[in-house]
Structure 1
């Protein structure tokens, strides 16, 4: 049982039993990650423990978790705006990695690029079965995955599988994602959020001090990535974003998306 405690045009926040808070992406039409959504999500992840929240669930609407970065809006930013965006995005990934409370991702449908990236830094991933795709397809839209994201993917699925996945830049289905360890479970879409909540409840039944202490121990390597500034060089990534070849490919992708609509 849950009760919506807060809603904006970007997020719905539902507080469930056992002090579990669900942060549901709600930015129409496709939950694309723009500066405002990233900042709001960052604020909510950071502030949740102080509100007495003991576990978090990230979710989206049925059929769609997030369509990834909002390319049209990001292409309209100048270099300072783009650098600020990458700074906030990396801060969000760090907040997910360093969260003192466990976080489960309820991947409720399609989740290309940025949507999959968010899930990489959470504790557990439940993916919707069916004709839904996820994965890191940055190469196909003209981008290079930032080193901190590469490290997180390699930590999760292994160095060579991560190499093959990133270089090809192909989206994959739930069955393949489960087979390579990109997600932990694949279930019917109407079961995904409930299962993520069940996962949280199970862990909150364990002795808090030992569960949290062990979690901190085993996630220390993930958190340590954020101690290496070279893995999150916002200036370098911004320079790459504004290279002519990158801009041309991104604009071509945007035009293709418009044509499909």
Structure 2
């Protein structure tokens, strides 16, 4: 599916030049966990995560997200998407631990394939993707942001972003790692991945996890301003350049996709890993009580 999507980018690049027709607000559509709102400016939509309490990447969320993104990609009215959270304070807490704890191998395989699909569809998308990070964004939430063409984070010391899998007793897969290395460099990624570092906004900007940090009330206006800059570039040249930069890394996952699923299932099924997840989930319960 990802390869087909990449092919469509090249086939239709020439027909997606220029400014698209303004989108009628009545075309807003929403699933239970993802809300898509067309912007007044031509060709832009906002995708809001709506999966309380912390926008975790559950199987249902992943499925709805990919469907929503596909609708936008197939509608030539759209050229760009702003990704954000409907609930300020939490962009996304990342992978849903309940999908990885106490389930059977078939479920783990289904879940991991959906996580892969989300990343491939975002990373290879022909659309301009701008992340308006209006809350905490650990682990899988950080991964979603890393797939975007530009990342803007709210300047709030309570918010942090990073791949903190090691703190949970699990390991970021190779394609998480590759995406992170390509963003911040090998040494910074190696240190952060081993320590499970979560960067507050200023540090995230310094290391390159995000491109810009702005006052919290300016995140969305800045995202629209950045989107306008990217929309000024002809689609065909931008899309071909994006594909040239990203195709090799995406192909690496596509080539190893089944092996990666089996590795995940084998790893997450270990008694030691299930025990670590159990302890972590118990700590979360205690914090809530």
Q: Same fold (TM over 0.5)?
A: yes
| Gap runs ≥5 in structure 2 | 1-22
Alignment-derived partner of residue 248 in structure 1:
275
Equivalent residue, structure 1, for 2:58 = 34
Distance 1:185 1:167, change over 3 A: same
Equivalent in the alignment of 2:164: 137
Match of 1:13 in 2: 36
**Which stretch of structure 1 is more off in the superposition, 68-77 or 165-174?**
68-77
| Partner of residue 17, structure 2 | none
Q: Provide the residue aligned with 2:13 in structure 1.
A: none
In 2, Cα distance between equivalents of 1:35 and 1:142: 21
CA contact (8 A) 1:62 1:189 kept: no
CA contact under 8 A between 1:46 and 1:99: conserved in structure 2?
A: no
Distance 1:232 1:164 in 2: 26
- 1:157-178 CA-partner distances (Å, limit 9, x unpaired): 1111110000001212011110
Aligned to 1:204: 231
SS of residue matched to 2:94: coil
Q: Distance in 1 between matches of 2:184 and 2:258?
A: 19
Larger radius of gyration: 2
Residues 19-28 or 202-211, more deviating: 202-211
Any conservation in 2 of the 1:175–1:186 contact (CA below 8 Å)? Answer: yes
Residues 90 and 232, structure 1, Cα contact 8 Å, conserved in 2: no
- Indicate the SS of the match to 2:95: coil
Instruction: Structure 1: give runs of 5+ residues left out of the alignment.
Output: none
Return the alpha-carbon distance in structure 1 between the equivalents of residues 122 and 37 of structure 2. Answer: 18
Residue 89 of structure 2 is matched in structure 1 by 63
Deviations along 1:87-112, whole A, 9 cap, x unmatched?
Answer: 01101100111111111111111011
Partner of 2:75: 51
Once the two structures are TM-superposed, the CA of residue 190 in structure 1 deviates from its matched residue by 2.1
After superposition, what is the alpha-carbon deviation per residue over 1:49-99, rounded to whole angstroms, capped at 9, x for unaligned?
Answer: 212211111111211101112213432431101111100110110011111
Contact residue 99 and residue 111 of structure 2 kept, 8 A: no
**Structure 2 vs 1, CA of residues 251 and 2 (structure 1 numbering), >3 Å: closer, same or farther?**
farther
What whole-Å deviation, never above 9, does each CA across 1:10-68 have from its counterpart, x for those lacking one?
Answer: 01111112211111001111111110001111122223121221111111121110111
Q: Distance in 2 between matches of 1:64 and 1:230?
A: 30
The 1:83–1:116 alpha-carbon spacing in structure 2 relative to 1, beyond 3 Å, is same
Counterpart selection for 2:126 from 84, 95, 100: 100
TM-score by length of 2: 0.85
Please point out which of 174, 184, 201 is paired with 1:157.
Answer: 184
Equivalent residue for 2:19?
A: none
162, 174, 182: which one aligns with 1:147 = 174
